[in-house]
Structure 1
Amino acid sequence: MTTRLILIEGLPGSGKTSTAEAAHQLLKNTSMSSALFLEGDVAHPADYEGVAYLTESEWRTFQRKHKDISTYTERFDGHYLVAYRKWHDHHPSLDSATISQLEQRDVYELPFELHQSLILKKWEAFVAQALTTDTTYVFECCFLQNPLTIGLIKYDLPEATLEAYIERLAAIIEPLQPILIYVDQPDVEKSFRKAIKERPTEWAEGFVSYYTLQAYGVNRSLSGIGGTITVLQERQAVERQLLDTLPFRVEVFSNEDFSAEARQGWLEQLIQTDAGIIDG
């Protein structure tokens, strides 16, 4: 059977996005149905991006002021999931105070156990749907990066807790016969500083702030770019350990040279000639 899911993982600035886009294009070139979802996609079928989790009373308060909130709301287990980023995209004039309130209730701001339960159920629903199609999905960063962002960086949880979370995710997606492509950067500092130079200042400031002001960074008195690099190095170490525990295929692509040609050749060999992805 053809795999239904290709996961692209790696640190920020490693080349995940370019790799995911290239993999998606190669799948299309082989006449396969492929769907690409990059980091930050508000329409992601297996993750929550810009979604707030509200109690009924909180939601009713918002509804009284904003009647159209219902269009962007999904009822879940006695609570309400509000796709506030999508709402704001369609209504740019939405006041900043409202958005700020919803951001504070974002799924990625919830206590870990509640957050985890929402994500696991989202993945379960996605897998059930994906098994009914002939589409191969290409996901950037939502399998390792996002769980570690909340589990390791935000809450500084024990490694055993992180491993258990990834193990549960892996069990859910295993029916899709996934393949994980890990875009590896041997020199974390070099690749991150490269990303800082190439991306907007606002991105760098926001990234450094988040990585050093959450529990992991605070508990170790980390700050600035140097502190962020320390966190990234730890995250990479955890990710590499997790790769060895996964019950499905993992391929590591060393992207130290950031060579588009080398990446293309590597992906072509993987996608066009490998029976693990395309039926032989």
Structure 2
Amino acid sequence: MASKLILLEGVPCTGKTSGARFVASQLRGWHKNVRLFTQESPTNPVDLMNYAFLTPEQYREFPEEDRVLFPVEETENPKGYMIPLTELHESLQKELESYRFYGCQPWEVERPLMLARWRAFAKEAMESDAVWVLDGMFFQNPVCEMMMWFDLPQAEIESFMSELADIIRPLEPLIIYLESDQIERRLREVADQHDYEWLDSLIAFHTGQSAKPNEVPDLEGCVLCLEARQLVEKKLMSKLGLDRVILKNAFTDWVEAYNFIRARVYEKTMGKPSTDK
């Protein structure tokens, strides 16, 4: 079966989002129906970044006039309510801030709900005629949560990711992993192009520290976390049995990198080698 799922993965500033857009553009050029979700998309089928979770008891603590405004998704394991924050007024978003899915829930809540989300996605993707392109959603949030937030042992990380891999395996996924051995330099380059608030938030996300611009110890801590995460993700790829390609420092020569990506995606989704020269 031709692949129905292309995953762009790698640590920040390796070019995942641009790569995902490139893949989607190529697929459309080959007359494929494409569903593209980048990290900038307001919603996507698998990420729970912009959700809150309430137990039934917590849900009942909110006034009825607030509850009727919650666009809830009931869950069975564990029982409760997922609430998409982006669909709420800002005042209600603030009330639910302490119930956010990432960073506020125990792993016993996060684990089954993440897996359920991926199962629902895999079912939808299998039944659709589209090729789905996801940017940084297979590894990034699950691995960051397990490593940086919960400090789970490697065996538990591997167990969860193995279960996740089995869920998407019928979609014949291709992982395009953008590796970097220039993490700190790339972080500074991208921060210079945007602003250091972006770098602050990235450092806080990966280290839990209250970062300040140009504060070297915090940046060094973030780089160490990202290097460790990259090693874990590469080790996972060697064990999960999913088709993958690893491109090192693709940002140094996007023409060559995109030519390689184009050929692999064509072969994976069209079922035959590319004839591009």
Structure-1-length-normalised TM-score = 0.87
Instruction: Determine the structure 1 residue equivalent to 2:176.
Output: 181
Instruction: Determine the structure 2 residue equivalent to 1:243.
Output: 237
Instruction: Determine the structure 1 residue equivalent to 2:249.
Output: 255
Aligned AA (1:126):
F
Residue 198 (structure 2) pairs with residue 206 (structure 1):
no
Aligned AA (1:139):
L
Residue 86 (structure 2) pairs with residue 85 (structure 1):
yes
In 2, Cα distance between the equivalents of 1:232 and 1:65?
A: 44
Instruction: Determine the structure 2 residue equivalent to 1:74.
Output: 73
In 1, Cα distance between the equivalents of 2:7 and 2:192?
A: 27
CA contact (8 A) 2:187 2:199 kept: no
Aligned AA (2:87):
K
Deviation of 1:68 (Å) = 4.8
In 2, Cα distance between the equivalents of 1:243 and 1:199?
A: 32
Deviation of 1:255 (Å) = 2.9
Deviation of 1:63 (Å) = 5.0
Residue 123 (structure 2) pairs with residue 123 (structure 1):
no
Deviations 1:47-102 (CA, angstroms, capped at 9, x unpaired): 213110012233234352425523x2111123111111232xxx3xx32xx42342
Instruction: Determine the structure 2 residue equivalent to 1:228.
Output: 222
Aligned AA (1:255):
N
Gaps in structure 2 of 5+ consecutive residues: 210-215, 273-277
CA contact (8 A) 1:39 1:140 kept: yes
CA contact (8 A) 1:33 1:135 kept: yes
Deviation of 1:39 (Å) = 1.5
Instruction: Determine the structure 2 residue equivalent to 1:44.
Output: 44
CA contact (8 A) 1:13 1:192 kept: yes
Instruction: Determine the structure 1 residue equivalent to 2:271.
Output: 279
1:127 alignment partner, SS class: helix
CA contact (8 A) 1:187 1:256 kept: no
In 2, Cα distance between the equivalents of 1:53 and 1:178?
A: 29
In 2, Cα distance between the equivalents of 1:39 and 1:208?
A: 17
In 1, Cα distance between the equivalents of 2:160 and 2:194?
A: 31
Instruction: Determine the structure 1 residue equivalent to 2:28.
Output: 28
In 1, Cα distance between the equivalents of 2:126 and 2:221?
A: 42
CA contact (8 A) 1:62 1:69 kept: no
Gaps in structure 1 of 5+ consecutive residues: 215-221
Residue 163 (structure 2) pairs with residue 164 (structure 1):
no
Q: Percent identity?
A: 27
In 1, Cα distance between the equivalents of 2:67 and 2:235?
A: 48
Deviations 1:127-173 (CA, angstroms, capped at 9, x unpaired): 11111111110011111111111000111111111111110100110
Deviation of 1:260 (Å) = 3.1
1:182 alignment partner, SS class: strand
> Post-superposition, which runs of at least 4 consecutive aligned residues in structure 1 deviate over 4 A?
none
Mark the CA change 1:256 to 1:112 in structure 2 (over 3 Å): closer, same or farther.
same
Mark the CA change 1:50 to 1:236 in structure 2 (over 3 Å): closer, same or farther.
same
In 2, Cα distance between the equivalents of 1:249 and 1:203?
A: 33
Deviations 1:226-271 (CA, angstroms, capped at 9, x unpaired): 1111111111111111111121201112235443322321222222
Structure-2-length-normalised TM-score = 0.88
CA contact (8 A) 1:180 1:251 kept: yes
Mark the CA change 1:256 to 1:137 in structure 2 (over 3 Å): closer, same or farther.
closer
Instruction: Determine the structure 1 residue equivalent to 2:212.
Output: none
2:69 alignment partner, SS class: helix
Mark the CA change 1:7 to 1:256 in structure 2 (over 3 Å): closer, same or farther.
closer
1:143 alignment partner, SS class: coil
Q: What is the aligned residue count?
A: 263
Query: RMSD value over aligned CA atoms?
Result: 1.9
CA contact (8 A) 2:14 2:251 kept: no
